[in-house]
Chain A
Amino acid sequence: MRKKRWVPWVLVGPALLIIVLTTIYPLIAALYFSFHKYKLRKPPQFAIQFGEGGLYIDWSLLTLDNYALAFRDSRFINSLEVTFWFTVISVALSVVIGLGIAVIVQKGGRLHTLTKVLLIFPFAVSPALKGYSWRFMLNENYGIYDLLIDSLIVKPINFVLSIVNALPLVEIPLISESIVWLGDKFWALFMLAMSETWGWAPLIALMFVGALGSIDEQIFEAARIDGANRIQIFFRVTLPLLRPVILIVTMLKTIFSLKMFDQVVTMTGGGPVRATQTINYYIHQVGFVRGLDIGYASAQSYILVVVLTICAALYVSLVLNRD
């Protein structure tokens, strides 16, 4: 209807300019840095230079060393592994628990509604604060989680085990009641993923509640009339219908998990012994804390960019192909 062609460009222009400056510029600059020897301590020498003859490129200054180093650096490989396992655990827990919460909460009822309102609460807690509060609560001396896990999970299991052990059949070792959660390599990573799950599972539940609400109630009614029980309805009706949303949410959470940083700083500090050093955390260490090696940090972050680009492509195709 409207004819003036320049109007949309005037409206989009300023926002687009700022997005380009704050995302495209750093993407290009980081790529450029990644091919240089560039440490913060001394001013860098860049390949593209302005000399007397105008612009010229000094090819000798370009190097692939940073990328080569990344694949030799056992700490970087370690950060890839940590990020992989963190992502697997946190995504699986968030999506499964989120789905479970959604299915339980979805029906009417006063307690259901109250829970639905509370689901938004973890969103208000910043990741940095989340990390600190979990670290505090997992403390082996005065942490409330430590107390609850020991008294509600470990002790009952040990009680059962001790009864079994009393029979002269097998000897099962009891679980330690003094695990230092953030001092143990496995548990530290697991608890880091749990803190992430605490923040995300409720939000993912909200996403599923929305998706469940848009499913025609008659479909469930029909299944019920056909004699399906709740478990059958969940696996044969609900789950297939939610499949597109589950895929999108899983992909989205995967992307967020791959970028894990905040809680690592405030909850574990990467430890114990690098067991929770995610890629982002290690890049931060290399670039800003230990080596001050901007070139190497850029190369590593570009490897992360490549991984995320693949995920983003998958995500976008999932979103676009959803009917």
Chain B
Amino acid sequence: MTAASASRIKPGFRQQSAKLLETAALLLIIAFIMLPILWLALTAIKPQEKAYTTDIIFTPTLDNFEIIFSDESVIINEGTDRERGEVGRKMVPNVFNSVVVSGATILIAIPLATLAAYAFSRYQFLGNGVLLIWILTTQFIPAIVVAIPFFTLFRTVEIFGSPLLGTRLGLIIVNMSIVLPYAIWMIKGFVDALPGEIEEAAYVDGCNDFQILFFISLPLIRPGVLVASVFAFIMSWNEFLFALIIGREMRTMQVALMTTSGARGIMWEQMAAAGMVVMVPIFFLAMFIRKNVVDGLTMGAVK
């Protein structure tokens, strides 16, 4: 007894070294996670001549952002033999595409998913369990299988006189296949967590189903719907395969990353700058839904 309490007051060598080891492990984890992100951020603000070194001492510059967003030739590094940086990357339309596609995807998907999630949570109807599992399994369909038929379909289907292939609308349509199932499951989790008594009371007071839904339940699950919207936005923002095959020349930022290459291969300082544009907004959104990412990714399977 006395020995035990003594060791608690004065941690022995074993405990101390264990604690030290744990701190070292934590620092290693932090380095493992943060290194690629920090290196990318660092490269984005490096002057060109430093981007191709591992130096970490340099004068920060926004030149790389200027290059990727400019429409015209921007000559930086004048007088050196390196020619890179002379071409404007015209990233503004690409950012616009990403914002419009991701924004429209959630504007369509989230209301529909909310209604469906509410029904799955609150009603017993023929085959609701089977349907729900089926929706769960749609996430396992490889995107390429969705892309092939829609590619051939969109080549021929025309809207406003031009084929859907290579349009933002086409991308929004195929994005539904990945976003809707996740959103339904995510929002259903939030509705499930809402106690049913309030709705029962409203029903007894004479509200009909839709009055309950729109005036009682929806306001209560609004935070959950917001989280699902953010999650869906991130999914479609980061989506690559559809953007490549269906979006084509209507590039989203993910595909536009590939346009940072020139005669000398990829211009890493420009790629890093474009990468920051891709990454930083999602960073803030991800922090906002930090507590819900696991549920979102696993559709609530791991709790």
- Interchain nearest-CB distance for B157 vs A (Å): 12
- Interchain nearest-CB distance for B265 vs A (Å): 10
**Segment touching A, from B66-74, B80-88, B220-228, B283-291:** B283-291
B141 contacts across to A, CB distance below 8 A: 23, 27, 305, 308
* Chain A residue at minimal CB-CB distance from B120: A12
A62 contacts across to B, CB distance below 8 A: none
B149 close to A26 (CB less than 8 A): yes
CA distance A7 to B123 in the complex (A): 9
- Interchain nearest-CB distance for A54 vs B (Å): 23
**Interface residue from A7, A14, A210, A261 paired with B303 (Cβ < 8 Å):** A210
- Interchain nearest-CB distance for B238 vs A (Å): 4
* Chain A residue at minimal CB-CB distance from B156: A43
Most chain B Cβ neighbours within 10 Å, of A26, A262, A294 = A26
- Interchain nearest-CB distance for B259 vs A (Å): 12
Q: A128-B257, A265-B240 are in contact. Are A142 and B52 (CB under 8 A)?
A: yes
**Interface residue from A210, A297, A312 paired with B148 (Cβ < 8 Å):** A297
B123 close to A315 (CB less than 8 A): no
Interface flags for B186-202 (1: CB within 8 Å of A; 0: not) read 00000000000000100
A104 close to B257 (CB less than 8 A): no
**Interface residue from A29, A210, A319 paired with B149 (Cβ < 8 Å):** A29
Interface of B: prevailing SS: helix
B9 at the binding interface (Cβ < 8 Å)? no
A252 close to B180 (CB less than 8 A): no
A117 contacts across to B, CB distance below 8 A: 290
* Chain A residue at minimal CB-CB distance from B239: A126
A15 close to B115 (CB less than 8 A): yes
A301 close to B26 (CB less than 8 A): no
A25 at the binding interface (Cβ < 8 Å)? yes
B203 at the binding interface (Cβ < 8 Å)? yes
B54 close to A147 (CB less than 8 A): yes
Interface of A: prevailing SS: helix
CA distance A255 to B148 in the complex (A): 20
B125 close to A5 (CB less than 8 A): yes
B36 close to A137 (CB less than 8 A): yes
A125 contacts across to B, CB distance below 8 A: 36-37, 279, 282
B36 contacts across to A, CB distance below 8 A: 122, 125, 130, 133-134, 137, 198
- Interchain nearest-CB distance for B278 vs A (Å): 5
CA distance A322 to B303 in the complex (A): 11
CA distance A36 to B303 in the complex (A): 45
- Interchain nearest-CB distance for B94 vs A (Å): 13
B125 contacts across to A, CB distance below 8 A: 5, 8-9, 12
Interface flags for B261-302 (1: CB within 8 Å of A; 0: not) read 000001010011001001100110111001001100110011
A309 contacts across to B, CB distance below 8 A: 140
Interface flags for A12-41 (1: CB within 8 Å of B; 0: not) read 101110110011011101100100000010
B297 contacts across to A, CB distance below 8 A: 203, 207, 252
A11 close to B118 (CB less than 8 A): yes
B290 contacts across to A, CB distance below 8 A: 117, 120
Which residues of chain A from 113 to 149 have any CB-CB distance to chain B below 8 Å in the complex?
114-115, 117-130, 132-137, 141-144, 147
Q: A126-B278, A312-B140 are in contact. Are A304 and B145 (CB under 8 A)?
A: yes
B77 at the binding interface (Cβ < 8 Å)? no
B144 close to A115 (CB less than 8 A): no
**Interface residue from A121, A122, A132 paired with B271 (Cβ < 8 Å):** A132
CA distance A304 to B241 in the complex (A): 16
Q: A114-B30, A261-B240 are in contact. Are A27 and B257 (CB under 8 A)?
A: no
B64 contacts across to A, CB distance below 8 A: none
A270 at the binding interface (Cβ < 8 Å)? no
A104 close to B150 (CB less than 8 A): no
A12 close to B149 (CB less than 8 A): no
CA distance A294 to B147 in the complex (A): 11
A298 at the binding interface (Cβ < 8 Å)? yes
A26 close to B26 (CB less than 8 A): no
A266 contacts across to B, CB distance below 8 A: 257-258
CA distance A268 to B25 in the complex (A): 30
CA distance A15 to B43 in the complex (A): 43
B22 close to A104 (CB less than 8 A): yes
Q: A8-B128, A22-B176, A137-B36 are in contact. Are A261 and B144 (CB under 8 A)?
A: yes
A1 close to B200 (CB less than 8 A): yes
A283 at the binding interface (Cβ < 8 Å)? yes
Most chain A Cβ neighbours within 10 Å, of B43, B54, B257, B272 = B54
Interface residues of A (CB under 8 A from B): 1-2, 4-5, 7-9, 11-12, 14-16, 18-19, 22-23, 25-27, 29-30, 33, 40, 101, 104-105, 111-112, 114-115, 117-130, 132-137, 141-144, 147, 198, 202-203, 206-207, 210-211, 214, 245, 248-249, 252, 255, 258-259, 261-262, 265-266, 280, 283-284, 287-288, 294, 297-298, 301-302, 304-305, 308-309, 311-312, 315-316, 319-320, 322
Q: A262-B254, A319-B301 provided; 16 other pairs, C-beta below 8 A?
A: A7-B123, A15-B184, A19-B135, A23-B141, A111-B26, A117-B290, A118-B30, A125-B37, A129-B279, A133-B39, A261-B143, A261-B240, A284-B245, A297-B148, A309-B140, A316-B136
* 5 nearest CB pairs, A to B: A29-B149, A126-B238, A22-B177, A11-B119, A15-B116
